[in-house]
Amino acid sequence: MDKNNPLTYSVIRLSDTVKNYPTFRRNIKGWISYDSDNLLPQRLIELNNQSAINRAVIENKVTYICGSGVDDSNYYGQPNPNDDWDELIEKIAKDYVTFGGFCFQVVRNKDGQSVSLYHTDFSKVRIGQINEYGTYLSFYLSNDWRRTTGRYAPVEIKAYGSEEMQQGEPYLFYYKDYDPSLDYYPVPQYYSALNYIEADGLLGKFYRNSINNGFVPSTIITMPSNPADKQKEQFQRDIENSYAGTNGANSIVVLWGESQEVKPVVTSYTASGNADLYNNVDQIIFQKIISAHRLTSPTLAGLSGSGNLSGNASEIVNAYMLYSRTVIDKLRRKILDTLNRFVVSNGYTKPLIIKDLEIDQAQTSK
């Protein structure tokens, strides 16, 4: 191999141990870092954007939590002038499923009694001051935690419950599930599958590059001479422009030679074994991701599985019912229990109720 032109390749290692829990420590600027680089939420967003499987599961879990919307047979007012309860709950549910926690700002209204609730992106929040009992006293907000100086400096906001509320002053309500050894920040339910979510994104890049390159190397061309570097580069460009990519499939290659002895040699190269290997890895990734989300059937993520819309419909309904009872109901209850504290304090006697999806109602009515 030419040392000046080394081969480039990538390796997906699924045998590595699962990532350890993130580390939290106080920054000299006052906030507690969300992992060693303070960017765990941003990494989760990037990984989810690259993994079609995990993104589909998250979107469907949010749909299941939100159900058919808030029961409109009762009146609960509005959480704030811009959002209704369905919109606020959807934002909170998406944060909860993605990060394992959610937060919103609480502002006392002009009447001095009721409050308004404003969703706050969980990925933009970092914990600030904490008292000796572990109670949060303040938080920091930033639109870009990669830049924290100058005009990008985070803004400190008081924690809800840290003092008696002042009218017009925002206070941040912060919620996370309990998890042993995680004192400050949560991790999402699928955290144990982060290696596989990352691998799913890498596989997407692999397939994209395979298509862009016409699924080569499938052919090796051995030239009978050794021309100058510029001629080599031009030949390489001509071949790639003519035959690489999807438009180059099934094209005809004509190579000219002076005689039988002096001519280019075209050798077929088959990498089907590698393709099978990647397909097997794809299945492993799929199974690990849906297992981390505790899905009872892959169809609940909108993906094909043993039960599908053209097959056994009752299997899909049963899978949804089981998943709803074992996972979704718990997530939904924690969101509603939190919000209903403010609904009741605003003077509404009946708590928020989310209507189940029609598939749930159809099954329970039988």
Give per-residue pLDDT as tens, 174-220.
999 988 888 899 999 999 999 999 988 887 776 666 656 555 555 66
Residue 140 lies in a domain: yes
* Residue with more model confidence, 221 or 61: 61
> What number is the average pLDDT over the span 270-291?
73
**Could you give the number of structural domains in the chain?**
1
The confidence score (pLDDT) of residue 13 equals 52
Tokens 């690489």 belong to which residue? 244
Residue 315 lies in a domain: no
Least confident of 61-65, 163-167, 215-219, 336-340: 215-219
The confidence score (pLDDT) of residue 124 equals 96
The per-residue pLDDT for range 227-263, each reduced to its tens digit, is 778 877 887 777 767 665 545 555 555 565 556 666 6
Residue 110 lies in a domain: yes
The residue segments making up the domain with residue 99 are 40-190+337-364
Residue 248 lies in a domain: no
Q: What angle do CA 120, 121, 126 make, to 5 degrees?
A: 95
> What number is the average pLDDT over the span 91-102?
97
DSSP string, 148-209: -SGGG--EEEEETTSS---BT-EEEEEEE---TT-SS----TTGGGHHHHHHHHHHHHHHHH
> What number is the average pLDDT over the span 102-110?
95
The confidence score (pLDDT) of residue 244 equals 58
Residue 147 lies in a domain: yes
Residue 268 lies in a domain: no
Dihedral pair phi/psi, residue 225, rounded to 5°: -135, 175
Model's pTM, two decimal places?
0.76
CA–CA distance, 24 with 34 (Å, rounded to integer): 6
Residue 279 lies in a domain: no
219: nearest Cα among 191, 189, 244: 244
The per-residue pLDDT for range 323-364, each reduced to its tens digit, is 999 999 999 999 999 999 999 999 998 999 999 988 754 444
Least confident of 8-12, 197-201, 300-304: 8-12
